[in-house]
Structure 1
Amino acid sequence: MLETAVNRSVTFGQTEMTPSFRMDLRKYNQKEYEKFVKVNTVNDWSQVSWKNIGKPYEVTSFSKEKTEWEKEHGEMLPVHTSWTMFNKSFHEWFTKDVPAEMDAKKRDFFYSLKSFKPSEIKAALGDYARIHLWNYAHRIQDGIWDPRGKRALFEGLDVLKPRILFLGAAEGYEAMQLSAMYPGGEVVLVDYDPFCRDERFGEFPDSYPFLGRNPSTGGDKVYYKNDFNISYVVDDIRNLPFGHEFDIVLSVGLLEHFPDSMKAEVVEWHRKFLKPGGYIVMTTPRAQLRSKLYYEIMADVMNHTYRELMTLEQMGLYLYENGLDIMKHGYIKVHNGIVAKAK
């Protein structure tokens, strides 16, 4: 990411598109709230059944990197390797100067037309479409980080200076947003790809502003990456030595990467580290047409491993059937969001 894109002279209510991302310190009003989170659409989860809601949509378009590796080696791409490929590919898009890249891809496309070679034209057109889609999703809509939507989901937790555990943390964005809203605690980020610690988190811009709470005044305060007490553990989640010691256990885009045979285990990864009365916060990509198109067009960037798109009801039923009480659930732009407790 472009560290020079944002400085610390930000003001409450401000939003600005930088060359690589949007920063947003606006609050939602009550009218906007429904745009970002529609909470509690299911009154009784015991009445929801798989027969009525169906199973998640499985994404079957994969990256060229994955398919070429499997063709060369004659076997399925190992899970760990798939994640290292994905993290590197995804991070490269976060670091782009998007306006400059859009201009370059436009020039490349028009130049390809002179070749009269369909393969070159198709490749150039695909590159042009992807950068425009990334610009829309990440800079215009801010659908990946979505600070207002996630603050709406995260609000109302009964915690003070919480210990927060983020499973599959990547750059750790959501844990930093939680720590701004509930300051003074500790964040432990976990990912088994060291690239996430060294590059995705390591290169996350120090000047990106997180809107949170000032515990001294009860008003608003802007926090930055270096204001948080963060440690980063590189390990498989199944090897973590922690007990029931965290106030919040968080995952973002984790559950949908595992088939049904492993869903219960994934839910248990969250519960096993939770204090009594603590909160589990999870999000997954929504099963909607624009998400399906996104993962189709961005397959080379996004699709290195198993992936599902879920409805909110599907996500919630997985959690309910595996021993969680759902306290809050809703839609956040392109994601489902749920706050739950262990039964």
Structure 2
Amino acid sequence: MLKETVSNERQPKPFNVENMDESYVLPQYRVDLRRLSEKEYNKFIKRNTVSDWSLLSWKDIGRPYEVSKYSKERTDWEKQVNRTMDPHTAWTYFNKSFHEWFVKDVPEEKTRGKREFLKSLQSFKPKEVKHALGDLIKLQLCNYVHRIQDGIWDPRGKRALFEGLHLKKPRILFLGAAEGYEAMQLGAMYPGAYIVMVDYDEYCKNTRFAEFPDSYPFLGENPNTGQWKITYKEDLNIEYIVDDIRNLDFGKEFDIVLSVGLLEHFPDEYKHEVADWHRRFLKDGGYAILTTPRNQLRSRLYYNVMADVMNHTYRELMTVEQMGLYMYESGFDILRHGYIKVHNGLICRPR
């Protein structure tokens, strides 16, 4: 059941079990409390397409697709300082740009964008027309991917990837956490979790995470009844650390080490280091969970049109087979793999 709303002015906890199996399109994002039917599951989620990872080779599956179109912010910065933008600066630019688009009030922005486009037509200045039209196209595409399709958060797909780990009160470490969405979803699915989020850009903690809507509902489990339960950000036990992953002094103390959109930002010669970060903090028997954006035509189009918003850093698009082979060759057994709307997902464990 889909309901369109025109305002996000709600109480902090506006959803309860009476809202189960409903979906709401709010001005900035979608709330989706629907559970997947068998037909929907088979349409949106493909799991375990590889039966034996030891038989897979790079010759069979090819290499990831490198996104080569960078944002104007990055190219202008590099011209000004006459050197390649370093990763920390690139992530700082990306996080700010991405968040500013992510939190737009879409109905209001669409009205403003159309007004600006019509105004630019009256100016007879091609540059103004091109700029206004470009912003309007970006807004429409961002709206479709995030707010209509819910491809970025995709709670139903990610619950399907993350389910069935048989964990009680797990310790979860989220590497490169940004706003922390996936760790919060895991925290709702595995009640009593203690979550440590890590990102070396303090903007992620102070803005992206801090401004994540308190009213957003995560669908999980009530440990007392085994029934579905709605959990909010404030219900979760979260610590947010601003630091470089390489500086962390944790031992092997986490049941889950999670990364979302991390592996694909490193060229091949550094991917083994990313795998080692997951191994380094895992308890014996713990799970490494990773997702990356899928290599598909729609994703290539998205990163091309949204280049000024998204492409400040090195980035690849992968198939789930490519992603899994990187981790398999780095000493992990792939316990579960699959892909959802716009992401690949792995659950793996060090051999």
User: Structure 2 counterpart of 1:207, which letter?
Assistant: S
Matched residue of 1:4: which SS? coil
Partner of 1:4: 9
Partner of 2:47: 39
Unaligned runs of 5+ in 1: none
User: Structure 1 counterpart of 2:9, which letter?
Assistant: T
User: Structure 2 counterpart of 1:334, which letter?
Assistant: V
User: Structure 2 counterpart of 1:324, which letter?
Assistant: F
Which one of 152, 177, 185 corresponds to residue 169 of structure 1?
Answer: 177
Q: Does 2:147 match 1:142?
A: no
Matched residue of 2:9: which SS? helix
Which one of 131, 141, 160 corresponds to residue 123 of structure 1?
Answer: 131
Matched residue of 2:39: which SS? helix
Separation in 1 of the partners of 2:347 and 2:219?
20
TM-score when normalising by structure 2: 0.96
Which one of 6, 24, 32 corresponds to residue 32 of structure 2?
Answer: 24
Partner of 1:65: 73
5 Å-filtered alignment, 1:293-312, equals: 293-312=301-320
- Is the CA contact (8 Å cut-off) linking 1:263 and 1:318 kept in structure 2? yes
Deviation digits for residues 21-57 of structure 1 (CA, Å, limit 9, x no counterpart)? 0011110012111233210000011111111211100
**What is the CA-CA distance between 1:339 and the residue it aligns to?**
0.7
Separation in 1 of the partners of 2:31 and 2:224?
25
Separation in 1 of the partners of 2:212 and 2:285?
32
Q: Does 2:120 match 1:112?
A: yes
Q: Does 2:91 match 1:86?
A: no
**What is the CA-CA distance between 1:109 and the residue it aligns to?**
1.2
Partner of 1:75: 83
- Is the CA contact (8 Å cut-off) linking 2:27 and 2:107 kept in structure 1? yes
Separation in 2 of the partners of 1:6 and 1:270?
38
Separation in 1 of the partners of 2:230 and 2:62?
42
Which one of 250, 256, 264 corresponds to residue 256 of structure 1?
Answer: 264
Separation in 1 of the partners of 2:14 and 2:243?
37
- Is the CA contact (8 Å cut-off) linking 1:12 and 1:25 kept in structure 2? yes
Partner of 2:3: none
Aligned length: 342
**What is the CA-CA distance between 1:5 and the residue it aligns to?**
5.6
- Is the CA contact (8 Å cut-off) linking 1:36 and 1:148 kept in structure 2? no
Matched residue of 1:145: which SS? coil
- Is the CA contact (8 Å cut-off) linking 1:6 and 1:18 kept in structure 2? no
TM-score when normalising by structure 1: 0.98
Separation in 1 of the partners of 2:10 and 2:309?
24
- Is the CA contact (8 Å cut-off) linking 1:166 and 1:175 kept in structure 2? yes
Separation in 2 of the partners of 1:34 and 1:249?
28
Deviation digits for residues 91-128 of structure 1 (CA, Å, limit 9, x no counterpart)? 11122101110111111112211222222111111101
- Range with greater deviation from structure 2 (19-28 or 107-116): 107-116
Separation in 1 of the partners of 2:10 and 2:295?
33
Separation in 1 of the partners of 2:11 and 2:82?
46
Separation in 1 of the partners of 2:61 and 2:193?
39
Matched residue of 1:328: which SS? strand
Q: Does 2:237 match 1:229?
A: yes
Separation in 2 of the partners of 1:5 and 1:308?
39
Partner of 1:181: 189
User: Structure 2 counterpart of 1:125, which letter?
Assistant: L
Same amino acid, percent of matched pairs: 65
Q: Does 2:205 match 1:205?
A: no
**What is the CA-CA distance between 1:89 and the residue it aligns to?**
0.6
Q: Does 2:109 match 1:101?
A: yes
- Is the CA contact (8 Å cut-off) linking 2:176 and 2:259 kept in structure 1? yes
- Range with greater deviation from structure 2 (23-32 or 212-221): 23-32
**What is the CA-CA distance between 1:3 and the residue it aligns to?**
6.4
Aligned-CA RMSD value: 1.1
Separation in 2 of the partners of 1:3 and 1:274?
39
User: Structure 2 counterpart of 1:59, which letter?
Assistant: V
**What is the CA-CA distance between 1:233 and the residue it aligns to?**
0.6
Separation in 2 of the partners of 1:283 and 1:251?
7
Matched residue of 1:275: which SS? strand
User: Structure 2 counterpart of 1:252, which letter?
Assistant: V
Separation in 2 of the partners of 1:28 and 1:7?
26
**What is the CA-CA distance between 1:7 and the residue it aligns to?**
5.1
